[in-house]
Amino acid sequence: MPKTVIVNSTPLIALAGIGELEILRSVYGQINIPKAVYNEVTVKSGKVSDAVRAADWINIVEIKDVDSKKMYKAKLHAGEVEVMILAQEMDADLVIIDDNAAKKTASYLGLTVVGTMAVLLKAKELKIICDVSSYIDKLLADGFYVSPKVISIVKDLAGE
């Protein structure tokens, strides 16, 4: 299990939206989110905000190097920028982020990056969930976008 895991808003929103935020805790234990991500996911009251606020296993961390935010502003949102900075500041073992531009940036920075689909695969591997297909179906029904190609790859990797 990675020691230091930084999570962006989309995986939190996606999993909390289907009532499965606990998958992150089950797979990774404590996770870290930058303050900007916390603000993004709790700005509106509702199921996602309530789930994130109630999760005492989510550490909200302020980035130290605020000046670094200027370097990333062109392509990324505030939460994604803070995820990159926090991951570097904490020497993160893993970053969970879904946006392709943010994934590319994180990879360029030498960070180990996965998305929500990889979290589901890991949860199945650890026998936390029985299948990934039903979770993908729930995510899609809740408005989460995953390309048909990625869905096919994930299901193949899961043996489904």
Question: Tens digits of per-residue pLDDT, 83-109?
Answer: 988 999 999 999 999 988 889 888 988
**CA count, 13 A, side-chain hemisphere, 154:** 24
* Residue 37 pLDDT > 70: yes
Give the whole-number percent of the chain exceeding pLDDT 90.
Answer: 74
The CATH superfamily label for domain 5-130 reads 5'-nuclease (3.40.50.1010)
The whole-number average pLDDT for the span 131-138 is 97
* Residue 82 pLDDT > 70: yes
For the chain, how big is the Rg over CA atoms in Å?
A: 15
148-157 and 116-125 helices cross at what angle (nearest 10)?
A: 20
Q: How many Cβ atoms sit within 10 Å of the Cβ of residue 155? A: 16
* Residue 115 pLDDT > 90: yes
Residue ranges covered by each domain of the chain: 5-130
9-17 and 35-42 helices cross at what angle (nearest 10)?
A: 40
More confident residue, 106 or 128: 128
Computed over every residue of the chain, the mean pLDDT equals 91
